[in-house]
Structure 1
Amino acid sequence: MHQIEDNGIAADQLGAVVWRKSSASNPSGDCIEVAALDSGAVAVRNSRDPQGPALVYTRAEIAAFVMGAKDGEFDDLTA
């Protein structure tokens, strides 16, 4: 297996944002967190590495992902 390189911006460089985690997150913290940015974009980070990288997406990108998730397009990734 190859090593995955970090991609994104350090979460602490985003300033004072409010991170939200799904209520479906398990007790060991295996979840992502999201934050709305002043620019209108949405940041996503790994809840187990809050100081690590955050990926930043446009609202349109997040909307497309959420619609796909609601439609079951990614269900195979959880099996």
Structure 2
Amino acid sequence: MSIDSGWIKASGAEGADEFVEMRRLEGMIEVRYSKDGETGDVLSFTPGEWDAWLDGAKKGEFDHLV
């Protein structure tokens, strides 16, 4: 069973003008750019894809991109 959520953002985005938001909807994880709001594109990931990305992020595999 999956629980749908509203859009959320990381605590580090507080006070920022631009950030990404995430939500769970119908078993998928969706990501959008905050400035585009309801009219912008949404990327959708399966829970397995999201888990793989989070694992890489936690291990620092993408740190060289920032």
- Unpaired segments ≥5 residues, structure 2: none
- Unpaired segments ≥5 residues, structure 1: 1-15
Specify the alignment match of 2:60 in structure 1: 72
Higher helix share: 2
1 CA distance for matches of 2:64 and 2:56?
A: 12
Taking structure 2 as the reference length, the TM-score comes to 0.82
Cα displacement (A) at 1:28: 3.2
Change (3 A) 1:26 1:77: farther
Matched, 1:18 2:6: yes
Specify the alignment match of 2:16 in structure 1: 28
Taking structure 1 as the reference length, the TM-score comes to 0.70
Q: 1:1-56 CA distances to partner (integer Å, 9 max, x unpaired)?
A: xxxxxxxxxxxxxxx95000011115333211001012x11110001111201011
Paired positions, count: 62
Identity percentage over the alignment? Answer: 37
What's the C-alpha RMSD, in Å, of the aligned pairs?
Answer: 1.7
Where do 4+ consecutive residues of structure 1 move more than 4 Å? none
